[in-house]
Amino acid sequence: MSPTVDHYRIVPELTVPDYASDTLKGIVSATRKAIQANVDNLGAGTPARAPKFVKLLRDNKLIDDKNQSIATTNHNETVSALRDIEASMDANDEGVDSSTYGTYSVAGDTYDDIERAVNQLQGTINDAMKAPGPSVDPTGKQYWPESVEGPLRTACATAAATVEQRMRDAATDIQRHADHINNSAPDNPISSGYGGTTAPLTTPWSGHSYVPPADASTIDKIKGFAANELGVTEIGTNHVNRPYNIDDAWCASFATWVWKQSGIDVDWSNKNYVPSVWSDAAGKGLADSDMSSARPGDMVVFGGQHHIGVVVARNGNTITTIEGNSGDAVRQHTYNLASGNFTGVIHPPAKTPANV
């Protein structure tokens, strides 16, 4: 590894005895360089750019398509291929922008998994040094026979493949995190983006809990729980001192909380993420893209699935909604169904037991 390259975190060294073959030494060295390059890309928040070391080993016929070691027959060609691979690892690592290290919050957890894979590989090498240990040729020179080095080459490929899979997982997690930021953070419905008007926040939240009357219907409960939250405002960024606080974009958390308080506890895959709620609702037969069917008690999903609220009234061709995280508060809005920007509505289930 070039000493001029800064690293996100240093991958533990991998050591083999002097009597190991040049091929095994080269594969172990290249394995560590590949893992270090993966770690640096992880720290820069770009795991998808990490090198695909296992593919390079396959392309150079050092392992097969099942990551099993292939006995080397041409020493010079193998050594040359390993030098090319190591050069590729160095070039990849030097191309990482170290100024961006640490930009992704879960990188540390992923690194811990990678470090375990490296330590396990070193443990496998150490075990081979103990038993059966080296063989000795007629001249007294120690060496590892193919019966030992073959499995060790496979162990290197397995460790590299484990790291590459963990990097793919990290790339997926980063994309999911980005999608959550981009897709669930609501726009402000006061703007013309959704085609609605808003009632001003004239008074702060009352601070009182809502207790529905004994004879209240489910729809009345939805309207009551939602209206009781009017005036709740953020303290800081995306934080509200209410049960639906998630310290993140909270419009979906608010809407699903209102339903749950009213006796509708749908098993959403992610109750805090608008696209997940809409997708799950579609799968359960609750989603309806025909806005003419909107009625009190429904959830309303806005265009682009960026925002969600609760319908509390229907008057002709207009609906009134109460929405969390609207202008950093719980606010009431009115929309014309013909001119509003909507994805659709989610109707409460016909039957509303504790779990639907």
Report the amino acid identity of residue 30: A
The answer on pLDDT for 185 being more than 50 is no
Calculate what percentage of the chain has a pLDDT beyond 70.
86
What are the residue ranges of helices labelled H in the chain? 22-43, 53-59, 75-94, 107-130, 146-184, 218-228, 251-261, 274-283
Query: Domains along the chain?
Result: 22-183 (no CATH), 196-346 (3.90.1720.10)
Q: How far is the C-alpha of 73 from the C-alpha of 16, rounded, in Å?
A: 21
Q: What is the mean pLDDT of residues 86-97?
A: 85
| Three-class secondary structure assignment of 213-265 | CCCCCHHHHHHHHHHHCCCCECCCCCCCCCCCCCCCCCHHHHHHHHHHHCCCC
Instruction: State the pLDDT confidence band at 179, using cuts at 50, 70 and 90.
Output: low
pLDDT tens string 285-302: 999 999 999 999 999 999
Q: What is the mean pLDDT of residues 223-246?
A: 92
pLDDT tens string 257-284: 999 999 999 999 899 999 889 999 999 9
Contacts of 261 (CB under 8 A, 6+ apart): 221, 225
pLDDT tens string 94-112: 888 777 776 545 566 778 8
Q: Is cis: bond before 132, omega within 30 of 0? A: yes
CB of 18 within 8 A of CB of 53? no
Look over the chain and give the mean of its residue pLDDT values, rounded to a whole number.
84
Q: Which pLDDT value is given to residue 1? A: 38
Instruction: State the pLDDT confidence band at 17, using cuts at 50, 70 and 90.
Output: very high
Count of C-beta atoms within a 10 Å radius of residue 211: 9
